[in-house]
């Protein structure tokens, strides 16, 4: 698929907005990712205690969890672009806190504040992208959106690590990245000439409420919860599993850790096109089920080459389900801000619950049990989607 064609087929008057959204997704994710990696990498050397580091990351994910639904609701009332500009503008200024309060604890506070900004940017940008495209074209543009995100997930830590290597510690260079990323996002949004006005009272009444009664909404949320719980376990425990099973470290371990994201980027052109031409609920179920199966396989005593295939398989499963599930959510109703806010809120809840479930299993059994239990949890979360698809099949 040609992504340029997908852009040209978006609503003509909204192409500038689409480009601004994609730039915001990439630059903001890049900046936050670079800083997050730098903070985790240099915590010991700068004297940041484990409790403060844990608090900083917990606060980051909690801020995203709480703010996603609130930000989505606010976007429906006040307009998404002004909200995005405010979030990116504040995110640009947040790293300056360290200049005025040069304490180690300020670095953790900056991480939490960036979580608030990211908690606004992602759901609001997704809702805006859903508004800018026709239903039949959403799969391809959500695929392009995810390509920007996952490219930033790879580039951000690399640049953050390079900054630590250049300066020898977390300092001015590392604080530049989030300010630069959020600043470039702010500029991209500022250059977009379309200023969204707040929704009228008639429009608010027309779009108010969430589509709880729609047959596929709750099953979709549960499926997303299971997928992100599995993804969080991969992020948290895959490096340790690689070390325990194969004794790998350094560049090879880093490559294995980045392999799912690489697979997502490579598969997105095809899966985005499929999301526009095939059954989206079926693609969501197939992709997330494949992720759960690969996650279960990672806990088994397999040779390295099979382990690599399973890790890449998780990336392919995510690529299969991401544009389809995001398009399904955008199709659920007129209140796209609120729908996407709840969608991202449930997704963030998976990132909070996943490490806890896996950590309990690892303490009770072993690291393999952590992956197996989370995979089973993801599979169970897909059962309502399977039932919903079966009912629809029999109804047809």
DSSP string for 128-196: HHHHHS-GGGHHHHHHHHHHHHHHHHHHHHHHHHHHHHHHSSSSHHHHHHHHHHHHHHHHHHHH----P
User: Could you give the 3-state DSSP secondary structure of residue 199?
Assistant: coil
User: Could you give the 3-state DSSP secondary structure of residue 232?
Assistant: helix
Note the helical H segments in the chain.
Answer: 3-8, 15-41, 43-46, 50-78, 80-93, 97-100, 104-132, 138-167, 172-191, 201-207, 217-246, 250-277, 280-298, 304-330, 336-364, 367-381, 383-395
Q: Report the largest interatomic distance among the alpha carbons of the chain, rounded to a whole angstrom.
A: 64
pLDDT one digit per residue (tens) for the chain, 396 residues: 455 555 555 544 477 888 899 999 999 999 998 888 888 777 767 776 666 666 777 777 788 888 888 888 888 778 888 899 999 999 999 998 888 888 888 888 888 899 889 889 988 888 888 777 777 778 888 889 999 999 998 888 888 888 877 777 777 888 899 999 999 999 999 887 555 544 444 444 444 555 666 777 889 999 999 999 998 888 878 877 887 788 766 567 777 878 898 999 999 999 988 988 888 889 999 999 999 999 999 989 899 999 999 999 999 999 999 999 988 888 776 667 788 888 888 988 888 888 888 888 888 888 888 899 999 999 999 999 998 888 776 665
State the residue for tokens 């689409």: 18
What are the φ and ψ backbone dihedral angles of 42, each rounded to 5 degrees?
Answer: -110, 15
Q: Look at residue 1 in the predicted model and tell me its pLDDT.
A: 46
Q: Look at residue 394 in the predicted model and tell me its pLDDT.
A: 66
How far is it, in rounded angstroms, from Cα 110 to Cα 292?
A: 34
How far is it, in rounded angstroms, from Cα 157 to Cα 33?
A: 6
Q: Look at residue 244 in the predicted model and tell me its pLDDT.
A: 79
- Neighbouring residues of 334: CB distance < 8 A, sequence distance ≥ 6: 206, 207
CB atoms within 10 A of CB 109: 18
Q: Look at residue 373 in the predicted model and tell me its pLDDT.
A: 92
pTM metric for this prediction: 0.82
Q: Where are the domains of the chain?
A: 1-205, 209-396
Question: Exposed e or buried b for every residue in 66-92, given b needs 16+ CB within 10 A?
Answer: ebbbebbbbbbebbbbbbbbebbbbbb
Residue 135 in contact with residue 332, Cβ under 8 Å?
A: no
**In angstroms, how far is CA 308 from the centroid of its own chain?**
23
Q: Look at residue 13 in the predicted model and tell me its pLDDT.
A: 45
- Neighbouring residues of 152: CB distance < 8 A, sequence distance ≥ 6: 25, 26, 27, 29, 30, 33
How far is it, in rounded angstroms, from Cα 265 to Cα 272?
A: 11
Annotation: CATH topology of 209-396? Growth Hormone; Chain: A; (1.20.1250)
- Neighbouring residues of 206: CB distance < 8 A, sequence distance ≥ 6: 334
CATH architecture group of domain 1-205: Up-down Bundle (1.20)
């Amino acid at each position: 698929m040609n992504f340029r064609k997908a852009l040209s087929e978006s609503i003509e008057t909204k192409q500038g907005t689409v480009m601004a959204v994609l730039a915001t997704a990439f630059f903001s994710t890049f900046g936050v990712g670079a800083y997050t990696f730098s903070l985790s990498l240099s915590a010991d050397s700068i004297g940041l205690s484990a409790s403060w580091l844990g608090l900083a990351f917990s606060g980051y994910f909690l801020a995203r969890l709480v703010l996603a639904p609130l930000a989505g609701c606010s976007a429906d009332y006040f307009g998404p672009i002004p909200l995005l500009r405010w979030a990116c503008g504040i995110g640009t200024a947040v790293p300056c806190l360290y200049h005025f309060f040069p304490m180690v604890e300020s670095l953790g506070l900056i991480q939490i504040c960036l979580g608030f900004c990211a908690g606004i940017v992602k759901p609001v940008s997704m809702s805006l992208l859903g508004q800018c495209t026709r239903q039949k074209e959403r799969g391809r543009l959500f695929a392009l959106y995810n390509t920007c995100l996952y490219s930033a997930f790879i580039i951000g830590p690399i640049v953050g690590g390079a900054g630590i290597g250049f300066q020898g510690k977390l300092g001015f260079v590392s604080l530049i990245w989030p300010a630069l990323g959020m600043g470039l996002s702010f500029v991209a949004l500022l250059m977009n000439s379309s200023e969204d006005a707040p929704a009228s009272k008639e429009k608010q009444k027309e779009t108010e409420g969430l589509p709880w009664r729609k047959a596929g909404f709750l099953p979709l949320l549960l499926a997303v919860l299971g997928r992100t719980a599995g993804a969080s376990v991969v992020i948290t425990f895959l490096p340790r599993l690689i070390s325990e099973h194969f004794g790998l470290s350094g560049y090879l371990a880093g490559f294995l850790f980045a392999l799912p994201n690489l697979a997502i980027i490579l598969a997105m052109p095809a899966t985005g096109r499929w999301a526009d031409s095939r059954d989206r609920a079926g693609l969501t179920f197939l992709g997330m089920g494949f992720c759960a199966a690969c996650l279960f396989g990672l806990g088994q005593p397999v040779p390295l080459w099979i382990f690599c295939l399973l890790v890449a398989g998780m990336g392919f499963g995510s690529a299969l389900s991401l544009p389809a599930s995001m398009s399904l959510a955008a199709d659920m109703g007129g209140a796209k801000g609120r729908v996407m806010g709840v969608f991202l809120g449930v997704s963030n809840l998976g990132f909070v619950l996943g490490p806890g479930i896996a950590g309990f299993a690892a303490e009770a059994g072993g690291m393999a049990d952590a992956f197996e239990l989370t995979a089973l949890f993801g599979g169970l979360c897909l059962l309502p989607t399977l039932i919903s698809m079966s009912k629809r099949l029999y109804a047809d």
